[in-house]
Structure 1
Amino acid sequence: MIPLPPLREVVAKHGLAASKALGQNFLFDEQLLTRIAAIPGSLKDASVLEVGPGPGGLTRALLRAGARVTAIEMDRRCLPALAELAEAFPGRLRVIEGDALKVAPETLFDEPWHVVANLPYNVGTALFTGWLSGQDWPPRWRSLTLMFQQEVAERIVAQAGSDAYGRLAVLAQWRATPRIAMKVHRSAFTPPPKVMSAVIHVEPATMPPGVSARMLERVTEAAFGQRRKMLRQSLKGLPGALAALETLGIDAARRAETLTVADFVAIAGVLST
């Protein structure tokens, strides 16, 4: 194992106080970071995309696991610390300065990749839904291992009928398999956030045939956009939706949170034909 200075020393050396505006909360516990890097399985010689590496805590854990890491960081203050890490692992770390929301991962890799990241809280959900979107499936990413606020993580894995169940659960589960791999106490971060966190691990699953991803997005957007209303009201603006409910034998007096992922897929399937 390549000897590296403690992360706290790196942060102090470069004056890297966490930026609230950028949604930063740093992890310094290297044993915890090693456990996170191990969640996807063996990363030896695997390509990994990391978003928001900050001072490079998770980055060094990924590099020590044998990964070839491409890190996207928009905080210029962190670049010197990441450059030092790149020198310690020659040819294994590429750092891109920029906004991950504006970078298409498929332009960065010639082969499938894993995504492993302690996502900034303010962009985490947008990045996640972006990686899950699009008609092409399976995706070029092999797995997603992502730190979220625990509340968001619970929404991703929620089942129909639960308070946490909503559009995010449907989009995450209809052709992928998400699970909560680890919960992380707020005290593990510097500065400690106000909420608990959890690491989600997602692997692609089989995509149901004959279903338009865009149509499923439209159906869930309409249904959960007015989730306290009956489906006959929330879906009336979507052409053909009420007829699809009748075709499938789904009571239009039900509310969105009572429908399973399979129900939403079936509705989108009828509307995709």
Structure 2
Amino acid sequence: MSQIDDLPPLREVLAAHELNARKALGQNFLLDLNLTQKIARTAGDLAGAHVIEVGPGPGGLTRAILSLGAEKLTVIERDQRCLPALEEITAHYPGRLEIIEGDALKTDFAAIAGGKPVRIIANLPYNIGTQLLVNWLLPETWPPYWQSLTLMFQKEVAQRIVAAPGDSHYGRLGVLAGWRTAAQIAFDVPPQAFTPPPKVTSSVVHLTPRDKPIAVEAASLERLTQAAFGQRRKMLRQSLKPLGGESLLQKAGIDPTRRAETLSVAEFCTLADAL
């Protein structure tokens, strides 16, 4: 018997449904239900909340979210093999779990939210995690449809999300996340917590939206950061040449000899506005 509900332990679920993690889908399953509860708790009090989870797999985090009182949980799962295991959870928590079979990168999360705030909690597949985060950070309207993001990444990616100027991990993700959110690493998860164990440590990152981020066009900031950090060892006058180079930097009042990793989020916003 598991410690958070009376459904079977996850190892039994994997065996019963002949589930093995597939590298092509970026899968690494978390089987420790106490750990999945710790991840879910990082999102705060879930009582009465609508939560969206991406890539639930056999449902370890799914069960944790429901056990902590989420009123509704919508999961998006691409792997058909996992659906029967998730259906068993639906039966245990009637009326609270909605299963959507599909690709998260093609999913309209705002439509799922339906105009009401949601929380997104996920042990993201490694191969799509970064792109999903960028999509969630750059909706056209702000504040966004989500109240918070509680997400698992490879530790190196997590460090890039929370990095500040001057940090060796500071780059495009740090600027985009720092612009619109307050982001922090909640805790690390060792490889041995997963089946199969990945080669790297993972980290849970919690992001909450800023009420009033600096007003600038998201598409301009994204273009600018891609160019600036695409050649991060070069001076900005060189890396930003396709976008105006020295004249753009002078317009924004920024020294053309500086490098991308020295600019604050506010300075990137000034540049994007000038662009």
Normalising TM by the smaller chain, what interval? Answer: over 0.9
Structure 2 equivalent of residue 12 of structure 1:
15
Q: Secondary structure at the match of 1:237?
A: helix
The reply to whether residue 87 of structure 1 matches residue 67 of structure 2 is no
State the distance in 2 between where 1:158 and 1:2 align. Answer: 38
Shift of 1:108: 1.4
* Contact 1:134/1:214 (8 A) holds in 2: no
Q: 1:48 aligns with which of 48, 51, 73?
A: 51
Q: Given the alignment, which residue of 22, 27, 38 partners 1:24?
A: 27
Alpha-carbon offset, residue 143 of structure 1: 0.4
For 2:89 and 2:8, the matched residues in 1 are separated by 10
Q: Which amino acid aligns with 1:27?
A: L
Superposed CA RMSD in Å reads: 1.3
Q: Deviations over 1:219-270 (max 9, x none)?
A: 111111111111111112114x533422443210111111111210121123
SS in 2 for 1:72: strand
| One-letter amino acid of the counterpart of residue 104, structure 2 | A
Q: Is the 8 A contact 1:71 1:96 kept in 2?
A: yes
Q: Which residue of 2 aligns with 1:96?
A: 100
Aligned match of 1:213: 218
Aligned to 1:192: 197
Q: Does 1:235 align with 2:251?
A: no
State the distance in 2 between where 1:210 and 1:172 align: 14
CA offsets 1:20-68 (integer angstroms, 9 cap, x no match)? 1111111111111111110111111111110000000000000001111
Q: Offset at 1:209?
A: 4.5
Aligned-partner Cα distance in 1 for 2:191–2:214: 41
* Partner SS, residue 23 of structure 2: coil
Unpaired segments ≥5 residues, structure 1: none
Corresponding residue number in structure 2 for 1:33: 36
- The percent of aligned pairs where both chains have the same amino acid is 58
Alignment of 1:269 with 2:273, yes or no, is yes
Which runs of structure 2 are paired with 1:125-136 in the superposition (5 Å)?
Answer: 125-136=130-141
Output aligned runs, 1:62-81, within 5 Å: 62-67=65-70, 68-81=72-85
Q: How many residues align?
A: 270
Q: Secondary structure at the match of 2:242?
A: coil
CA deviation after TM superposition for structure 1 residue 196, in Å: 0.3
